[in-house]
Amino acid sequence: MTAPEADPFADVHADLPAAFRAGLGPVVERYLDVQRALADDDLEAARRSAGAADDATAAFTPDAPEAAAARWTELSGRIRAEAGRIASAASLEAARGAFEPLSAAIADVLRAFGNPLDAPLRLTHCPMAFDDRGAAWVQTGEAVDNAYFGASMLTCGSVRETVPPGGFLSAEGAR
C-alpha cells in the first residue's frame, strides 16, 4: 500500500481570506460560461466567454497572502493563455483542444483555493474525448453536460467529484 500523496496546495489552503476566494468567483463563472457554450456547440459564445474569462483573470491581482498570491500568478498565466487560445479559435475542435488545459488549470484553482461559488461544482470526465484518451472539465449541475462533444454526445461521461461551496477538489481529482 502506498502512502497518500502529499497535498501540493497545503501552503495556500491555510488562512485563505474570504476576499481572496471571492475574487476568484468571476474567473470560475466565466470558465463555466465557456463550458456551457462548448456543450451547446456555440463557438461564438465560447469565444466571447473565453475573452471574458481572460478579462476576469487579469482583473484579479491579489498580493496577499504571499503563498496564495504566488500560486495564483502561476495559475492565472495558464488560464489566460488557454482562454486566449479559445477566444481566437477558428473551430469548435480548436476551442475544445484549448478547453482541456483550461479545465486542468481551473481544477488546480479548486484544489488550491476551493470553490468560490455558492453552488456545488462537479469535476466531470469523458473517457472518449481526444480519441479515447479522456478529458475532464468542471461544470455545475448533476447531469453530464459534455463540452468536448456537445450535442453529438452531450451526456457521455461521469461526475468524478463534487466540490461544495468553500470545499476543495481533492488532490486526486482529474488525475
Structure confidence by residue, pLDDT tens digits, 40-80: 999 999 999 999 999 999 999 999 999 999 999 999 999 99
pLDDT value at position 171? 85
Q: Contact at 8 Å (CB) between 112 and 67? A: no
pLDDT value at position 12? 52
- pLDDT class of 9 with cuts at 50, 70, 90: low
Residue 96 has pLDDT above 70, yes or no: yes
Would the pTM count as exceeding 0.85? yes
What is the Cα–Cα distance from 103 to 98, expressed in whole angstroms? 9
